[in-house]
Chains A and B, each alone.
Chain A
Amino acid sequence: MNSLRIQTEDFDLAAEYQSLRQLSSAVGAVVTFTGLVRDFEGQGSIDSLSLQHYPGMTEKLLQEIVDQANSRWNLLGTSVIHRVGKLLPCDQIVFVGVASQHRADAFEAAQFMMDYLKTRATFWKKVDQHGQQHWVESKDSDQAASQRWATDD
């Protein structure tokens, strides 16, 4: 199972975990990552966040990331959820879950998928800080995190 969802609505971490856990009796490890909206960006606190994406292309790019993860690690299932639209501080924004027989595959694949998602998938964040809106700048640290996987591409 490889599940990919881009949605405005929230998700239930427990339900996502159960779907991965129940995939098969061969599942020996489930790693999940949930990203939350921080209450600050750059110099100040934020009131809200808006997420734009490129419909069609985003799904294609996420599918490529999932396909790469499956070719690099021995996985039994993956699940990716990314929310779009307006979000508030502390909201859940992104979920990556991986099921595998052994923990190393799940840990590494989950980290790989998040690192690639952050630097390749066509999402853009705009923050509202006290009535002023501005687009979030990409971070060099995200690029560096993604590049460490590049040697095995």
Chain B
Amino acid sequence: MVNLLFFGRLGDFAADVPASIEASTPAQIRELLAADFPALGAELHQPQVLVSVNQMIVSWDQKLAEGSEVAFLPPVTGG
């Protein structure tokens, strides 16, 4: 299992998403979520959305280790 975090507007689409999921890559998480939560799936497919694993930005096909923290990050708007 890996733990999921959703930031910014993605959080609004992920209110009913389980806190953890069984998956081998972020891309697979995205597909699994899109099946049950189509609106969230569409958001996660936006090209500007980044994914991090254990607080490092990674590619969508990064292999996931058990217990990893996977976060989905829309474009940042700080400052």
Contact = CB atoms under 8 A, between A and B. Distances in A.
Given A56-B55, A57-B71, A60-B55, A124 B79 contact: no
A124 B74 contact: yes
A82 B77 CA distance: 12
A135 interface: yes
Given A54-B71, A56-B55, A94 B7 contact: no
Interface of B: 5, 7-9, 11-12, 48, 52, 55, 71, 73-79
Contact of A51 (B52, B71, B78): B78
A124 B55 contact: no
A125 B78 contact: yes
A125 B7 contact: no
Given A56-B55, A137-B77, A124 B71 contact: no
